Structure 1
Amino acid sequence: MSALTRVFSITTAAGGLASVVITILVTDGLEIVDVSSTQSLFIGNRSESIWQLFSLGIASIMTIVVEVKVKEGVVEDQKVIMKQDYNMQGLFVADSVAEVIIDEVWSEWIVTKEPTCETPGEKIRNSNKGNSETVELPALNHKWSNWNVISERTIENPGIEERICSNDDKHKETRQIKLPGDADDNNKVDVQDLLAIIEFIISGTEPASLYNADENDDNYVNIFDLMSICENLIKSQTSDDMIISYVC
């Protein structure tokens, strides 16, 4: 639905000027409904409309008949075809419409491209003036589940764990289940791994993920993780028992 604002210049017999502003609504490109008159008037689905209203600055009631041709919500042609003063001598002269403003009315947004986890989407809307507007919909980004073990770790082989995106279950990530503290990725934890972890804790020069040593899953590698790894190693009774016990 679009709104039309009409501004009429009215000349009185005494030479005075007044401005009559008429606002109407256009529905379905045809029906014209009065929203500013002082009375409720039946207009109907036609190209002719009648308003009975008080003219601003003139103590009189007048009737103005305006012929309006509307096509697809746009006024193609209009003209004043009749005017009449009931209360004053002389004749009102109604000029042609000085200004017509058609408000731009936008449709609802239509999604033309759904966003995914990795790519943005798109939505579009159109107006009664033939304009269109396109807005990018941000990518959803992955919403990962917790890691789930799908293959248990053995002495010979590292295990496998997996996580799945809740936005799209076709998006999956897998990773090996490494021994906590296996800094050199040789599938065992020995004194060399412990020394590397100690160096990291002291200097903070390497990312914690390199050492796979975040034993308590708090996103930090610190002395508490190291103590836990040492405890596990001592219990395992490896050939490096004496050295490991000394380091720990």
Structure 2
Amino acid sequence: MPCGRYGAIAVSGPTSPGPSTSITDHSLPKENLVPPSPRVWLPERRRSGAGILAAGLTALALITVRGPFTAMTAADISVVALLVHLVVYLAITLLAFSAATESEIRAWAERDSRGTVLQRYVLGTAPGPGASLFIATVALIVAVLWLPANNSPALQGHPRVAVGVALVAIAWLSVLVSFAVTFHADNILEDGTALAFPDDARPRWADYIYFAVSVMTTFGTTDVTVQSTDMRQTVSFNAVIAFVFNTVTVAALVSAVSG
């Protein structure tokens, strides 16, 4: 070992890199990467609000764009915007209730009362069909009146029929899903005693979809037993809405195909 004027120079083992050579992890904390809970999308107003925002942006884009869409009339833009709204609402609703846990849905649904007719079927401030039912009804009426007009240079022939049929179909599906949400919430409010499913197990989201499909297509409850007056009122209202929608839907489709 070499020695200098000031004595031997000690040689240590491999030195660890100093602060200047250390590798710093600049990634975000793991908790910030966790996606938000589906519970945030359970309230009707948030789902309808997302649909309204998407519809507004679509209408704005169609108004300002230049090209083949320039010739679209105000009625055309309104129909496309309604279609976008219902598609976004339907997608968010299906994803939210499919992914949410039973406890999250229960926390959202539990309340002191069912709310007024206005709150349940128009405003969406109480769990129920809410604004989606109102908008779906408007969409159905608009489609029936808009489809035969055929006075737009931008949407004629098969494209017009495709948009009209899609609007009618999505409106029908939106009513079905919105009532599935209503049955789910109301059954939770009555501690699971309002509806009796044949397997006696705690019903899941798929069971309420099944029940809503039964009411929308057969106007009956099939193998599910309705056990409360309040739930019978909701089922009756759904059956009436389903009858009107099915009648108008068939008439619109026949008119579109024959026209």
* TM-score interval, smaller chain: under 0.3
Larger proportion of strand:
1
Given the two structures, how large is their TM-score scaled by the length of structure 1?
A: 0.19
Given the two structures, how large is their TM-score scaled by the length of structure 2?
A: 0.18
The answer to which structure, 1 or 2, has the higher relative contact order (CA under 8 A, 6+ apart) is 2
- Between structure 1 and structure 2, the one with the greater Rg is 1
